[in-house]
Amino acid sequence: MTLTERIDALCHLGTIMTNFNDEALQTAITKAHQYNGWFIEDNIRLSLTSVATFFLQREILINWALDNQLSDNAHPKTIAIVMAGNIPLVGFHDWLCIFISGNYSLIKLSDKDEVLLPFLLQQLQQSFPAVATTTRFSDGVIRNFDAVIATGSNNSSHYFETYFAKYPHIIRKNRNAVAILTGEESDEELRRLATDVFQYFGLGCRNVSKLYVLMGYDFTQLLTVFHEWKEIVLIDRYKNNFDYQMALLLLNQSPFLNNGCIILKEDARIASPLATLHYEFYQDVATVKEKLAAHAHEIQCIISTNDTPFGEAQSPAIDDYADGVNTLHFVKNIATVVV
């Protein structure tokens, strides 16, 4: 496929993703939820809409291709993707980078998210049959590839680094987002922050797991605004985690705050358990920035008035690459190696 054909196909894919009146798409959404109870239908639609809106627009794709000097790829390579399954279509951007660069994908899906991407590509092939030659899925051990992008936990990353050592690779570990608050935030800003905390039940690497708050910060306003997400506890999986974390804190006689749908605990760690938000007091922002720089390997993005805006953690731009590693540059360089 030429670059123009690939961009045309991606624009059409965006249309497929947002045609929620389509019976086949609705069936796939329902099936994805049945396979993974965390994938409630609203969140699947949110992911589909975000991908279509922020990635699969013609102007966005053309500018991205121009910025990265993409062209027709006469020597495509096969790049394996080991996908995570924490939120719907979490590995889509990796596939997108490979596809638009003219390379081929060999995908190992997570068993938590094995419905949506195959369905979408099958639908796309009806209008663009050539897409079938660009992407393969593997149920077993992946073999015969030139490079690999693997996303997993801190534990699985050690296995990936050993297993894929001889290949050009990107290995991703656990990361989270953090937010810096001054106490001067409006209700609307906190409302947008709440989406960064609660969307996808906090399971995404871009979900805020920790707050840095100015010494003396009063949590009353935040807890009140966050309570607007109270219906999240109607989801059994989330409520079970909320109750479990609450029980642990009570048994250990640990101090905490809660509003019935989120637990706030003072803790220096960046990653927090599900249904829990860590916080840490600070006296000056410069000190916070120093701490964040020291823990950059744990942080996907920073939410504040001077960094990623409140409410935009889960809406990265097409060139906002995971872990700050330019995935498109990586796969493009693989493509230039002619064997």
CATH number at residue 39: 3.40.605.10
Question: Beta strands of the chain (E only): which ranges?
Answer: 78-82, 104-108, 135-137, 147-151, 169-172, 176-181, 208-214, 257-258, 263-266, 276-282, 299-303
Q: Are residues 148 and 294 in the same domain?
A: no
Tokens of 178: 């953090």
Contacts 24+ apart (CB under 8 A), 109-112: 109/83, 109/85, 109/137, 110/83, 110/84, 110/85, 111/35, 111/85, 112/35, 112/36, 112/38, 112/39, 112/85, 112/86
Q: Are residues 77 and 97 in the same domain?
A: yes
- 180-219, pLDDT tens digit by residue? 999 999 999 999 999 999 999 999 999 999 999 999 999 9
- 285-319, pLDDT tens digit by residue? 999 999 999 999 999 999 999 999 999 999 999 99
What is residue 290's predicted lDDT score, i.e. its pLDDT? 95
The answer to whether residue 310 is domain-embedded is no
Q: Are residues 32 and 125 in the same domain?
A: yes
The Cα 339–Cα 337 span in angstroms is 6
Q: Are residues 139 and 272 in the same domain?
A: no
Q: At what angle do helices 3-17 and 116-127 cross, to 10 degrees?
A: 120
Question: What is the domain-level CATH number for residue 210?
Answer: 3.40.309.10
pLDDT class of 74 with cuts at 50, 70, 90: confident
Sheet holding 104-108, edge to edge: 135-137, 104-108, 78-82, 147-151, 169-172
Q: Are residues 11 and 160 in the same domain?
A: yes
pLDDT class of 5 with cuts at 50, 70, 90: very high
Q: Are residues 61 and 185 in the same domain?
A: no
- Mean pLDDT, all residues of the chain: 95
The answer to whether residue 314 is domain-embedded is no
Q: Are residues 31 and 168 in the same domain?
A: yes
CB-based burial, 136-146: b 16+ in 10 Å, e otherwise: eebeeebeebb
Phi-psi region of 54 (alpha: psi -120 to 50; beta: other; left: phi over 0): alpha
| Contact predicate 144/339, CB 8 Å | no
What is residue 245's predicted lDDT score, i.e. its pLDDT? 98
What is residue 153's predicted lDDT score, i.e. its pLDDT? 86
The residues, ordered by sequence, that sit 6+ positions from 280 with a Cβ below 8 Å of its Cβ are 210, 211, 212, 213, 266, 267, 268
What is residue 155's predicted lDDT score, i.e. its pLDDT? 84
The Cα 155–Cα 161 span in angstroms is 10
What is residue 275's predicted lDDT score, i.e. its pLDDT? 98
Residue 336 has pLDDT above 50, yes or no: no
Q: Are residues 20 and 167 in the same domain?
A: yes
The answer to whether residue 308 is domain-embedded is no
What is residue 156's predicted lDDT score, i.e. its pLDDT? 86
The Cα 17–Cα 7 span in angstroms is 15
- 132-160, pLDDT tens digit by residue? 999 999 998 899 999 999 998 888 888 89
The answer to whether residue 154 is domain-embedded is yes
- 209-255, pLDDT tens digit by residue? 999 999 999 999 999 999 999 999 999 999 999 999 999 999 999 99
3-class SS at 233? helix
* Domain ranges, residue 190: 176-303
Q: Are residues 329 and 198 in the same domain?
A: no
| Contact predicate 104/80, CB 8 Å | no
CB-based burial, 104-126: b 16+ in 10 Å, e otherwise: bbbbbbbebbbbbbebbbebbbe
Residue 49 has pLDDT above 90, yes or no: yes
The Cα 336–Cα 339 span in angstroms is 9
Burial of residue 296 (CB within 10 Å: 0-12, 13-18, 19+) is exposed
The answer to whether residue 48 is domain-embedded is yes
Q: Are residues 129 and 273 in the same domain?
A: no
CA-to-CA separations, 312 to 23, 92, 192, 197, 290, in angstroms, rounded:
30, 18, 8, 11, 23
What is residue 334's predicted lDDT score, i.e. its pLDDT? 84
What residues form DSSP beta bridges with 265? 278
Percent of the chain with pLDDT over 90: 92
The answer to whether residue 129 is domain-embedded is yes
Residue with tokens 């922002």: 285
The answer to whether residue 295 is domain-embedded is yes
Question: Beta strands of 233-298 (E only): which ranges?
Answer: 257-258, 263-266, 276-282
The answer to whether residue 313 is domain-embedded is no
Q: How many CA atoms lie within 13 A of 313 on its CB side?
A: 32
Number of domains in the chain: 2
Percent of the chain with pLDDT over 70: 99
What is residue 261's predicted lDDT score, i.e. its pLDDT? 98
Q: Are residues 97 and 135 in the same domain?
A: yes
Q: Are residues 119 and 95 in the same domain?
A: yes
